[in-house]
A and B are shown apart, each in its own frame.
Chain A
Amino acid sequence: MINYIIKRLVTSVITLFVVLTATFFLMHALPGGPFDNEKPLPPKIKANLEAKYGLNKPLYEQYVMYLKNLSRGDLGPTLKYEGRTVNEMIAYSFPASAKLGAVSIIFSLILGIYLGVVAALNQGKWQDRLVMVIATLGVTVPSFVIATLLMYVFSVKLRLLPSSGFAGPKYMILPALALSGYSLSFIARLTRSSLLDVIRQDYIRTAKAKGLSRNVVIYKHALRNALIPVVTYLGPLVAGVLTGSFVIEKIFAIPGLGREFVTSIGNRDFMLIMGTTIFYSTLLVVCNLIVDLLYAVIDPRIKLEA
């Protein structure tokens, strides 16, 4: 177990290094730079700015510089926001995205699994059809459509919930719902098909033959087996949702990381691009590792070997 974790951490570092190197050079291969605006800056000022941030140096020197700073945990200054570092930016915007993401994940998991179980246990009946329709819509309708619809119904028509901002729990309900649409539907479908497979297994017949009640058979014997595929999906889901969604954050005016991630690319804010990419990659790698460890907890047949 410990050996396995160590091995995974070592490979993770290699993965992250490849990601950051590729991003660094791809980013610099893009035309344009952080100081290109509609109104061009006077060449002298631009040259001064580039000198200040070291952008005039050869690329490999910049790369080495970046790695040096990174090894100290310093992600550098932002190029677009005067006087703020990338570390500060992430520290400021990540909590909003993370909170929203966490609420959305809990919501997707509870409701998704519940709907999946209901559908599987009523296979072919109206409950099943209803869940499948909802799940299909959730997967196919883009989140911005769901977001706008939710906003229209709950904020404009019913005036129950605020449409934008991030000042308390009730501000999170609509964006979390909109953010959950896809993952909730996906989890519901996954749970349904997996549970349908499991309840036909011999060991479920054994459990019934022992005289266990239907609830014990389903929730103790079947569901744990059925959730193994759901756990697989959880790794990328958690990382993806925690780091925020550009679309949702934009629509609900939430100061989150997802928005920074996307705008930084348009801005050619090299430092912020690198910072958010590294942050996201690290989170993804860690989440995948946690999921793989969780596997062994849920399914005793899986042995983690280094």
Chain B
Amino acid sequence: MERLLEIKNLRTSFFTHVGEVQAVRGVSFHLDKGEAIGIVGESGSGKSITMMSVMRLLADNGKIVEGEILFEGRDLAKLPENEMQKVRGNEIGMIFQDPMTSLNPVLTVGDQLMEPLIKHKKMSKEEAFNRAVHMLELVGIPSPKSRMSQYPHEFSGGMRQRVMIAMALACEPKLLIADEPTTALDVTIQAQILELMKDLKQKINTSIILITHDLGVVADLCSRINVMYGGLIAETGTTRDIFYNPKHPYTWGLLNSVPNPKNLVKERLKPIDGQPPDLLKPPAGCPFAPRCQYAMRICMTQRPPLFEIGEGHKAACWLNHKDAPKVEAPIRRGDL
């Protein structure tokens, strides 16, 4: 498989008046052409900031401190801004969490759809219009031609997310970054949007990075999953590894907080107690240690390396050390 994206030891910080917030603290992973991977973690785990670093769309006080972001061999972290503009929307498309606020309210949907086509593909207005109509058709918007001259407020939430997807894919990017694309939508629409993304992945032959806090969402679409916590990768592996053989207590916690449709009444969801770490003063040891019921002395003082579990399956937890006590993973196997 050909590498599309390779992130090596990425560190991204925000420099605020109270100090440096180390949002991403050395993250490495890769994505092959045509692949879909998931990045899972709770708010503040650094998953969105990792992808915003790839897009180089950090807030003014955010900075990539260290690391490489190799996109087809080019290091995006060091690309000048005008070169980066040719990558955004053209080679990498992005969709966001809240479709209600992600479209400009005073410009027509058509205008917003045509913009990247005119800019990147140097299309004439007419060509861009036809292409935009085609894209709307592709994402399943009825009577796309008449929809072109409408404004975002005339679309429902699900429809707007379809428009966002059409816009992000208009230039046939090699990579689509979807940052919690279904979080703000209701459940039936969520399924439709995921189905659409799966469908378009085939049609347009784009790779996908799906950011979410919902393990249920990634299972269907992604072949591999990175679990992030406290600005670090906690566990990485194939979707099968993560669901059936998880090796990090945080992954166990995430799996146990997914509702199980088989016994809705009997069982309560198990939340993970405690708060995520303060990345202004990141802990010296494992960031999850204060919330981890299996934490040992070493977890508090030394950051665990990524232990090799199997091929491509790694977990940053001391429990995987050969001298560590053996712990049975407290998850409901086979239910998911």
Contact, CB under 8 Å: B101 / A211: no
Contact, CB under 8 Å: A207 / B87: no
Asked whether A68 is an interface residue with its Cβ less than 8 Å from the other chain, the reply is: no
Cα distance A213–B118 when bound, in Å?
A: 13
Q: Give residues of chain B (32-82) contacting chain A, Cβ–Cβ below 8 Å.
A: 55, 57, 82
CB distance from B50 to the nearest CB of A (A): 15
Output the nearest chain A residue to B56 by Cβ-Cβ distance: A208
Cα distance A220–B105 when bound, in Å?
A: 12
Contact, CB under 8 Å: B116 / A203: no
With a cutoff of 8 Å between Cβ atoms, the chain A residues found around residue B106 in the complex are 224-225, 298-300
A residues contacting the other copy or chain, number (CB 8 A):
21
> Residues 198-230 of chain A: 1 if any B CB is under 8 Å from the residue's CB, otherwise 0?
000111011111111100100011001100000
Contact, CB under 8 Å: B94 / A209: yes
Contact, CB under 8 Å: A207 / B104: yes
With a cutoff of 8 Å between Cβ atoms, the chain A residues found around residue B120 in the complex are 211
CB distance from A84 to the nearest CB of B (A): 49
Asked whether B88 is an interface residue with its Cβ less than 8 Å from the other chain, the reply is: yes
Contact, CB under 8 Å: B115 / A206: no
Contact, CB under 8 Å: A203 / B104: yes
Asked whether A301 is an interface residue with its Cβ less than 8 Å from the other chain, the reply is: yes
> Residues 74-114 of chain B: 1 if any A CB is under 8 Å from the residue's CB, otherwise 0?
00000000100111111001101010011111111000000
Given the known interface contacts A209-B55, A301-B153, the answer about A203 and B101 at a Cβ–Cβ threshold of 8 Å is yes
Q: Give residues of chain B (162-183) contacting chain A, Cβ–Cβ below 8 Å.
A: 164, 167-168
Overall SS of chain A's interface: helix
Contact, CB under 8 Å: A202 / B98: yes
With a cutoff of 8 Å between Cβ atoms, the chain B residues found around residue A203 in the complex are 101-105
With a cutoff of 8 Å between Cβ atoms, the chain A residues found around residue B102 in the complex are 202-203, 205-206
Contact, CB under 8 Å: B103 / A211: no
With a cutoff of 8 Å between Cβ atoms, the chain B residues found around residue A209 in the complex are 55, 57, 88-89, 93-94, 96, 168
Contact, CB under 8 Å: A225 / B104: yes
- A contact residues vs B (CB 8 Å cutoff): 201-203, 205-213, 216, 220-221, 224-225, 298-301
- B contact residues vs A (CB 8 Å cutoff): 55, 57, 82, 85-90, 93-94, 96, 98, 101-108, 115-116, 119-120, 151, 153, 164, 167-168
13 contacts between A and B (CB under 8 A): A201-B101, A203-B103, A205-B57, A206-B96, A207-B115, A211-B86, A211-B87, A211-B116, A211-B120, A213-B82, A216-B115, A221-B107, A225-B105
* Extra pairs beyond A209-B168, A211-B119 (12, CB < 8 Å): A201-B101, A203-B104, A209-B88, A209-B94, A210-B88, A210-B167, A211-B120, A212-B89, A213-B85, A221-B107, A224-B106, A225-B106
